[in-house]
Structure 1
Amino acid sequence: MRTKTIWLTALVVLATVSGARAVDGLGVGLILGEPSGISIKKWITNDRAFDAAAAWSMSEHERFQFHADYLIHKFGWFNPGVQPGKLPFYYGIGGRIRLANDNYRYWHDERYHADRTSVGVRVPFGIEYLAASAPLEFFLEIVPVLDLAPDTHVGVNGAIGFRYYFR
């Protein structure tokens, strides 16, 4: 039942986001890292966007995570000579819900945690390459995370990925 709920949630999110631009459209792709899964992004202005992902942990623990972020892109912060595309830095704020079905301990904690849902805040930092000749985007990000409920816990997510933009 839990798996069906997860897939239904992912499909509803994908169906409710619409648009058209690689800075014009809806980008759908994959993220690889911790966690790994399906990613979507919707540009709302030339330098602002929303992204979201439905992802699974690659560790030995069974975890599903849904996250959504508001992103601000800074074009021209550094000029490595990448042409003809664009290479913006981005940062933002967002939230995550993580469903865990495991029995584990944090390295600093003697308590065991199992079958729980946690809610937290994400602060993504990343860099992406927006291809000029194709509706593609490649990105690398690192994301400090602060879980707030049911316990506080600090962690880090990181990923590389790509998105294809439907026009």
Structure 2
Amino acid sequence: MSRIVLERERIGRSPISSRAIKAAGILFLVNAAIVVCFSSVSMSANVQRVGPGSFEGGIILGEPTGFSGKLWTGLNSAVDAGVAWSFGKGGHIHLHADYIIHNFDLFEISTGQMPLYFGVGGRVRFEGEDSRAGLRIVIGTEYIFEDAPVSLFFEVAPIMDVIPETSSDVNGGFGVRFIF
């Protein structure tokens, strides 16, 4: 009889804990505050294909692997986000969002553009009872083709999880996005 009760309790549990839902809410508020605080930051640049209102959508391959989107909020600023799956230890769903600033003057290339970007944001990892939320610091570079609405990027993001406990992690990957 106790076996049936235990099975009903196991089936009745939500795969996403209330702690993870609270963490997602906190992460959303932190990211909203970051966007508001940094939305006035700008740097000079000669942006051809990208700028305020431009959107990029594509994929990222690495840890984790999934969909990547980027909304340009200024000439040198953007909000990027990802919905991905980690293939590491047990696998988990990963959501992140970052506010990033681009430096178009660092690399001089003959065609296209290649800004270095850096920023801060947050990450939520849903993995049953081991769900986590934390802060990300992202640094990467992106090649924006001159003759095609496509960009390639590489990024690395050290992470400091703060919910439910302090731990660290690193994400990174290569990706391709179409520019709309």
Instruction: Tell me which amino acid in the other structure corresponds to 2:149.
Output: P
* One of 118, 121, 125 as aligned partner of 1:91: 118
For the aligned residue pairs, the C-alpha RMSD in angstroms reads: 1.7
Aligned pairs for 1:1-167 (under 5 A) are 22-23=50-51, 25-79=54-108, 82-101=109-128, 115-166=129-180
More strand by share: 1
Q: Using a 3 Å threshold, how does the CA distance of structure 1 residues 140 and 22 change in structure 2: closer, same or farther?
A: same
Aligned residues: 134
**Match of residue 106 from structure 1:** none
* Cα displacement string for residues 27-63 of structure 1 (whole angstroms, at most 9, x for unaligned residues): 1100000001000000011100000000010214121
TM-score, with structure 1 as normaliser: 0.75
Secondary structure, counterpart of 1:124 in structure 2: strand
More helix by share: 2
TM-superposed deviation, 1:2: 5.7
C-alpha separation in 1, matches of 2:169 and 2:158: 6
Whether contact under 8 Å (2:50, 2:75) holds in the other structure is no
TM-score, with structure 2 as normaliser: 0.70
**Alignment gaps of 5+ in structure 1:** 4-20, 102-114
Whether contact under 8 Å (1:22, 1:135) holds in the other structure is no
Which protein shows a greater Rg? 2
**Alignment gaps of 5+ in structure 2:** 1-13, 17-48
